[in-house]
């Protein structure tokens, strides 16, 4: 089904709502002097967008806006994930002391605009749309990273992000121009038809073009060798933005990457396995990228003293695990990737939330600030929650992280990628060491400050409780998320 | 356009792309790096317009439209880039990227 411009709007309500909310926040910011409730407006809009995604009108999917966007169950999964990430980011922003010091109107309108760009990324079905939405997300993220104007680290992080991002997306569109030249179209399905039509495609040229395109997409998911910005940006940005980039931006990157590498330049076989273009070795290349990404992320995290930086390297490693599902060229692998990304959302958002609460209390993000946290008055709940999130990131059973890792490794073994699975498991063992360092500091070391009590606002406690319970509950009873992911893996690729 | 073929434009695009990449890697000045990024974007633009011109009827306007969008986004990126560079200058009194080293490890 191909919908015209007006008919497409019925599948486009979440994006329309976010657009309206962005403009409304800018207007309120201009008109009123009390800006303290702008965060609540943003919170209501993101919840509204999430609800609207949930009540999507169409079955089976459709092309929207003359084949610029595609609406299918795959995009619904990622739109829901991104709306959840935006919801958590806005919720955290309201409870964050860093954010209270910056311009509220600018901050929330740009945050919602960034979420809008991520939603568009998950739906793009055209190289132009893919580039525009990716750049939309990048430009808004640069501003959000540098939003603390008088903080030197925040500015440095924004500059590094801008430079890496500009080069990566420039390289990506240069690669896209070669694909456009060879296929004669920007439309994903037309590219697919053109590349599979002949058996004499210029293999080397296609491969180089794909490598160039991978630079832009790899930069969004922070995979090696385009990961260099991640630790600096995650450390310098305000923590709610770090969370949003780590969870939302990464999910959007995976969505676009999957849509480009799977339906656009591969064919789905009857047995659920995908056939890549003949002799174009992108799966092999990505296999190497995946192994290096998780190993490098875990090894670099071992020696970090700053929690945000450690979680940044850990999120590089987590992207490596999700890539394991991506390189298997099978529907099972992709379902495992979706499950993993959802699990990653819950546990990583939780870990960053605790880091934010501790930074609110102590003003420090170093692991030394966590010493004896469990034994301070009122600190036990915080310490237990952080332990749950870190155990989940390691992949200990009875947490959602275990379910994610189990599905990814199981899919790898089913596709006979034994060495990949072994490397993944060894990596999990290595990661246990650095994930347990804050836990050891919290439970086994003497408190720095045993007198004053730990006070946490109910606002932050509420979200922390929800995320911690979700980590445990979905770890013990995973069917809801498994069935959501496996129902979501249907790309809308009718060519008519 | 006698004598000019698609290949001439593609080679021009490639040269611009490589020069842009060199500029990004070699420059220490933040503005110089932003200029290098602009060169990379323009290399892509030349490719799009050339492929569009020589590519036949099916994609007659696609490439040109893409190039216009890239020009627009390059402007947006320059605006944000210069704003960030200005903020860096106010904080550090320099726009040399090797001076930005408080984040490392």
Per-residue confidence at A496, pLDDT binned at 50, 70, 90? very low
In this prediction the pTM is 0.96
Q: Residue length, chain A? A: 496
**Contact A205/B at CB under 8 A:** no
Q: What per-residue confidence (pLDDT) applies to A150?
A: 84
Across the interface, whether the CB atoms of A177 and B69 are under 8 A apart is answered no
What would the pLDDT profile of A301-332 be if each residue is shown by its tens digit? 999 999 999 999 999 999 999 999 999 999 99
Q: How far is B2 from chain A (nearest CA, A)?
A: 21
Mean pLDDT, to the nearest integer, of A33-43?
90
Mean pLDDT, to the nearest integer, of A38-59?
89
**Which structural domain, as residue segments, surrounds residue B72?**
11-94
Q: What per-residue confidence (pLDDT) applies to A491?
A: 86
Q: What per-residue confidence (pLDDT) applies to A269?
A: 85
Kindly tell me the sign of the dihedral angle through the C-alpha atoms of A259, A264, A265, A270: positive
Q: How far is A186 from chain B (nearest CA, A)?
A: 7
On the question of pLDDT at B102 being above 90, the answer is no
Q: What total of structural domains would you count in chain B? A: 1
- Mean pLDDT score of chain A: 92
- Domain at B70, CATH number: 1.10.287.3510
What would the pLDDT profile of B23-74 be if each residue is shown by its tens digit? 999 999 999 999 999 999 999 999 999 999 988 776 778 899 999 999 999 9
Nearest to A155 among B62, B70, B88 (CB): B88
Across the interface, whether the CB atoms of A152 and B105 are under 8 A apart is answered no
Q: What per-residue confidence (pLDDT) applies to A58?
A: 65
Residue B2 lies in a domain: no
What would the pLDDT profile of B78-100 be if each residue is shown by its tens digit? 999 999 999 999 888 888 888 77
Q: Which residues of A touch B93 (CB under 8 A)?
A: none
Across the interface, whether the CB atoms of B91 and A152 are under 8 A apart is answered yes
**Contact A398/B at CB under 8 A:** no
Residue B49 lies in a domain: yes
d(CA A233, CA B100): 13
Break chain B down into helix, strand, coil percent, rounded to 5.
75, 0, 20
């Amino acid at each position: 089904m191909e919908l015209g411009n007006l008919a497409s709007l019925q599948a486009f309500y979440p994006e329309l709502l976010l657009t309206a909310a962005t403009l409304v926040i800018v207007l309120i910011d201009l008109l009123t002097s009390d800006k303290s409730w702008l965060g609540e407006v943003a919170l209501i809009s993101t919840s509204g967008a999430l609800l609207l995604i949930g009540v999507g009108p169409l079955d089976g999917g459709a092309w929207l806006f003359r084949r610029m966007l595609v609406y299918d169950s795959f995009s619904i999964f990622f739109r829901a994930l991104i709306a959840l990430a935006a919801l958590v980011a806005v919720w955290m922003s309201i409870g964050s002391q860093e954010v209270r010091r910056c311009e509220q109107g600018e901050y929330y309108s740009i945050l919602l605009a960034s979420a809008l760009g991520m939603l568009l990324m998950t739906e793009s079905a055209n190289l132009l749309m893919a580039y525009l939405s990716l750049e939309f997300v990048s430009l808004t993220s640069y501003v959000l990273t540098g939003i603390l104007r008088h903080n030197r680290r925040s500015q440095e992080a924004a500059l590094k992000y801008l430079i890496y991002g500009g080069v990566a997306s420039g390289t990506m569109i240069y690669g896209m121009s070669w694909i456009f030249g060879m296929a004669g179209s920007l439309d994903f399905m037309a590219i697919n038809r053109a590349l599979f039509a002949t058996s004499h495609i210029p293999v080397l040229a296609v491969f180089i073009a794909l490598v160039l395109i991978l630079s832009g997409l790899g930069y969004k998911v922070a995979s090696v060798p385009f990961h260099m910005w991640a630790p600096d940006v995650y450390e310098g940005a305000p923590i709610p933005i770090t969370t949003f980039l780590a969870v939302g931006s990464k999910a959007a990157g995976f969505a676009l990457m999957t849509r480009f590498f799977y339906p656009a330049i591969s064919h789905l076989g009857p047995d659920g396995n995908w056939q890549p273009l003949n002799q174009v070795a992108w799966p092999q290349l990505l296999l190497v990228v995946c192994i290096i990404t998780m190993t490098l992320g875990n090894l670099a995290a071992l020696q970090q003293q700053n929690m945000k930086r450690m979680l940044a390297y850990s999120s590089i490693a987590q992207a490596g695990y999700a890539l394991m599902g991506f390189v298997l060229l099978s529907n099972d692998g992709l379902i495992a990737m979706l499950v993993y990304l959802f699990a990653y959302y819950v546990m990583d958002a939780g870990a960053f939330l605790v880091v934010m609460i501790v930074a609110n209390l102590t003003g420090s993000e170093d692991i030394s600030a966590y010493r004896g946290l469990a034994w301070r008055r009122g600190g036990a709940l915080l310490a237990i929650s952080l332990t749950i999130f870190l155990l989940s990131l390691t992949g200990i059973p009875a947490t959602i992280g275990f379910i994610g890792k189990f599905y990814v490794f199981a899919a790898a073994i089913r596709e006979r990628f034994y060495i990949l699975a072994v490397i993944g498991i060894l990596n999990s063992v290595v990661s246990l060491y650095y994930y347990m360092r804050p836990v050891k500091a919290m439970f086994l070391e003497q408190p720095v400050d045993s007198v004053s009590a730990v006070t946490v606002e109910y606002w932050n406690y509420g979200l922390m409780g929800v995320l911690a319970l979700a980590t445990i509950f979905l770890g013990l009873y995973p069917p809801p998320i498994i069935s959501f992911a496996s129902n979501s893996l249907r790309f809308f690729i009718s060519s008519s | 356009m006698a004598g000019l073929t698609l290949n001439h434009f593609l080679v021009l695009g490639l040269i611009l792309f490589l020069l842009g990449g060199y500029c990004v890697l070699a420059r220490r000045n933040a503005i110089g790096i932003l200029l290098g990024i602009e060169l990379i974007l323009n290399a892509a633009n030349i490719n799009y317009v050339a492929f569009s011109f020589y590519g036949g009827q099916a994609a007659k306007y696609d490439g040109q439209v893409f190039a216009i969008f890239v020009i627009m986004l390059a402007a947006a990126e320059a605006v944000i880039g210069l704003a960030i560079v200005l903020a860096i200058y106010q904080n550090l009194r320099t726009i040399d990227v090797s001076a930005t080293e408080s984040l490392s490890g």
